[in-house]
C-alpha cells in the first residue's frame, strides 16, 4: 500500500520528535525539514523498510531573495508506489547541505547543477564542479540578482 | 590553398596566360561549388531541419553535399542552432581545423544575432560572426529545408565568383573588419591558429 503524505509525516515525527517537520503549503507533496536533520531523514527514507524510497527523482532549488533559498528533493518508492519531497530552507548568503551521493548515486549531477546555478555547496560530494556553465564562469546564473554583461534587457 | 595560390604567378608570366586563367578559374570554382562537403554537427533545433535537408526528401546529395564527421575533410560548416558561450570556443576550434578553402553558413536566427535568446540571456553568443567569418546567413527559426537549400545555392554562386590569386571577398570577413574602431584594438579579435579561447574572452557586443 502506498503511504499517504500525512502517514510519512507522522512516521518521520516519531523518529525525530525534537524537530519540527511540517507539510509545505506551496507544494502538496513536500515536507519541510530542518537543515540539521536533512541527511538523517534522507537516510531513513532510503533504508527504512516501510518507507523504502529507492529512487531519487530530482533535486532542485528556488531563489527567494532577500535571504532565503529553498532546496527541494523529490523521492519515489518504485516498490511501494509512494512519493515525497523534502524541502529545506537555506541561508541565501552561505547555502550548504550534506550531499546525498552516498545514498542515491544520481544525486551527483543533480547537486553539481544546483551548485553551478545556485551556488549551494554540498558537503561530502565527491566531485563538486560546474555542470552547465563553462569552468571559469563567475557567479550563479539562476540567482535572481544575477547580472552579466552579456544580458540585454528586454524592452518593456 | 598553397599550390592553388601559386598557380596564377606561373601562368601570368606566360604570354596569353589570361585566357588559360579564365578556364582554370571556372573549372576549379565549379569543382569547389559542386562538392561542398559539410561538417556533421548540430547545436539545437536547426539541426533537425539540417538532417531533414540531408535526408532523401530534400536531398543535399544532388548538390554534391555529403556530411563528413571530421573537420579535416570538410569545406563547409553549417552552424545549425543556438551557440552558447560554452560551445563557442569548441566551434572556433572546429573552424580552425578545417582546411582552406572553407565556408560558413549561419543557419537560423540564433546564429545570426542570438534569435529568441537575444534578450535576457547570459549564456548565448549573439551571432556566430563574432567568432568566425560567415559567408551566408539563412534566416528562419528554424529555416525550412527549402531556405537552407537556397542558402547553399547562394553559396555556390558566391564560390563561382572567386578568382585565383585574389583574396576571397567574404561578407563575414568584411563585417568583422568594419566593426574595428580605428586606433583601438579590434573588438572582434580572432585568435590565430587552433588556440582555445576562453568563454570570458569572447568579445561581446551589445
DSSP of A36-63: GGHHHHHHHHHH-TTT---EEEEEEEEE
Q: Looking at per-residue confidence, does A92 or B20 come out higher?
A: A92
| A129 conformational bin, left if phi > 0, alpha if psi -120 to 50, beta if neither | beta
Mean pLDDT of chain B: 78
Mean pLDDT of B154-168: 78
Q: Is the pLDDT of residue A156 over 70?
A: yes
- Quote the pLDDT of residue B97: 86
pLDDT in tens, A61-99: 999 988 999 999 999 999 989 999 999 999 999 999 999
Mean pLDDT of B65-85: 92
Q: Where does B55-98 have alpha helices with state H? A: 88-97
Nearest CA in chain B to A135: B86
Q: What residues does A123 pair with on adjacent strands?
A: A98
- Residue B58: which residues within 8 A CB-CB, separation 6 or more? B52, B145, B146, B149
Tell me the pairing of strands A30-32 and A83-91.
parallel
Mean pLDDT of B54-81: 92
The Cα–Cα gap between B138 and B128 comes to: 12
The Cα–Cα gap between B157 and B146 comes to: 16
Span of A1-15, A108-122, B75-89, B154-168 with lowest mean pLDDT? B154-168
Q: Looking at per-residue confidence, does A68 or B10 come out higher?
A: A68
Mean pLDDT of A46-53: 90
Touching check for A145 and chain B: CB below 8 Å? no
How many residues are there in chain A?
A: 156
**Grid-cell match 552552424, residue found:** B79
Of B120, B199, B206, nearest to A134 by CB-CB distance is: B199
Of A133, A136, A155, nearest to B198 by CB-CB distance is: A136
To the nearest 10 degrees (0 to 180), the angle between helices B46-54 and B145-160 is: 70
B122·A136 Cβ contact <8 A: no
pLDDT-derived band at A28 (thresholds 50, 70, 90) equals confident
A136·B199 Cβ contact <8 A: yes
Q: Looking at per-residue confidence, does B24 or B80 come out higher?
A: B80
Nearest CA-CA distance, residue B165 and chain A, Å:
40
Span of A101-105, A114-118, B6-10 with lowest mean pLDDT? B6-10
- The phi, psi pair for A73, rounded to 5°, reads -125, 130
Grid cell locating B60: 543535399
Q: What is the DSSP letter of A24?
A: -
Nearest CA-CA distance, residue A26 and chain B, Å:
27
Q: Is the pLDDT of residue A55 over 60?
A: yes
What is the side-by-side order of every strand in the sheet holding B103-107? B67-68, B38-39, B76-80, B103-107, B136-138
The Cα–Cα gap between B67 and B58 comes to: 14
From the number of C-beta atoms within 10 Å of its C-beta (0-12, 13-18, 19+), residue A49 rates as exposed
With H, G, I as helix, E, B as strand and everything else as coil, classify residue B182.
coil
pLDDT in tens, B92-144: 888 888 887 888 999 999 998 888 988 888 888 888 878 888 888 898 899 99
- Quote the pLDDT of residue B11: 65
The Cα angle at residue B126 between residues B125 and B131, in degrees rounded to 5:
65
The Cα–Cα gap between A4 and A24 comes to: 14
- Quote the pLDDT of residue A117: 93
- Quote the pLDDT of residue A32: 93
Of B122, B198, B199, nearest to A151 by CB-CB distance is: B122
Span of A87-91, B21-25, B37-41, B104-108 with lowest mean pLDDT? B21-25
Mean pLDDT of chain A: 90
Nearest CA-CA partner of A33 in A57, A2, A7, A12: A12
Q: What residues does A97 pair with on adjacent strands?
A: A122
Amino acid at each position: 500500500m502506498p503511504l499517504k503524505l500525512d502517514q510519512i509525516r507522522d512516521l518521520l515525527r516519531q523518529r525525530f520528535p525534537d524537530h519540527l517537520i511540517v507539510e509545505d503549503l506551496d507544494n502538496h507533496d513536500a515536507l519541510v525539514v530542518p537543515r540539521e536533520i536533512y541527511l538523517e531523514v534522507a537516510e531513513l527514507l532510503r533504508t527504512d523498510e516501510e518507507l523504502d524510497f529507492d529512487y531519487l527523482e530530482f533535486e532542485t532549488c528556488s531563489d527567494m531573495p532577500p535571504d532565503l533559498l529553498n532546496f527541494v528533493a523529490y523521492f519515489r518508492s518504485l516498490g511501494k508506489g509512494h512519493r515525497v519531497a523534502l524541502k529545506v530552507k537555506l541561508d541565501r548568503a552561505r547555502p550548504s547541505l550534506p550531499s546525498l551521493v552516498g545514498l542515491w548515486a544520481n544525486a551527483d549531477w543533480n547537486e553539481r547543477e544546483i551548485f553551478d546555478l545556485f551556488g549551494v555547496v554540498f558537503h561530502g560530494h565527491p566531485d563538486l564542479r560546474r555542470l552547465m556553465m563553462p569552468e571559469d564562469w563567475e557567479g550563479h546564473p539562476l540567482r535572481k540578482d544575477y547580472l552579466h554583461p552579456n544580458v540585454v534587457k528586454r524592452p518593456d | 590553398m598553397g599550390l592553388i595560390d601559386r598557380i596564377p604567378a606561373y601562368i601570368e608570366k606566360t604570354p596569353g596566360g589570361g585566357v588559360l586563367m579564365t578556364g582554370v578559374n571556372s573549372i576549379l570554382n565549379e569543382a569547389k561549388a559542386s562538392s561542398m562537403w559539410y561538417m556533421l554537427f548540430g547545436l539545437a533545433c536547426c539541426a533537425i531541419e539540417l538532417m531533414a535537408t540531408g535526408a532523401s526528401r530534400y536531398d543535399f546529395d544532388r548538390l554534391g553535399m555529403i556530411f563528413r564527421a571530421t573537420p579535416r575533410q570538410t569545406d563547409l560548416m553549417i552552424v545549425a542552432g543556438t551557440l552558447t558561450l560554452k560551445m563557442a570556443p569548441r566551434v572556433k576550434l572546429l573552424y580552425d581545423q578545417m582546411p582552406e578553402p572553407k565556408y560558413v553558413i549561419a543557419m537560423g536566427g540564433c546564429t545570426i544575432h542570438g534569435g529568441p535568446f537575444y534578450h535576457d540571456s547570459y549564456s548565448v553568443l549573439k551571432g556566430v560572426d563574432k567568432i568566425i567569418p560567415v559567408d551566408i546567413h539563412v534566416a528562419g527559426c528554424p529555416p525550412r529545408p527549402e531556405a537552407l537549400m537556397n542558402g547553399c545555392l547562394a553559396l555556390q554562386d558566391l564560390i563561382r565568383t572567386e578568382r585565383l590569386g585574389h583574396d576571397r571577398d567574404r561578407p563575414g570577413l568584411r563585417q568583422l573588419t568594419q566593426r574595428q574602431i580605428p586606433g583601438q584594438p579590434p573588438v572582434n579579435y580572432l585568435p590565430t591558429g587552433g588556440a582555445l579561447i576562453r568563454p570570458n574572452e569572447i568579445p561581446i557586443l551589445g
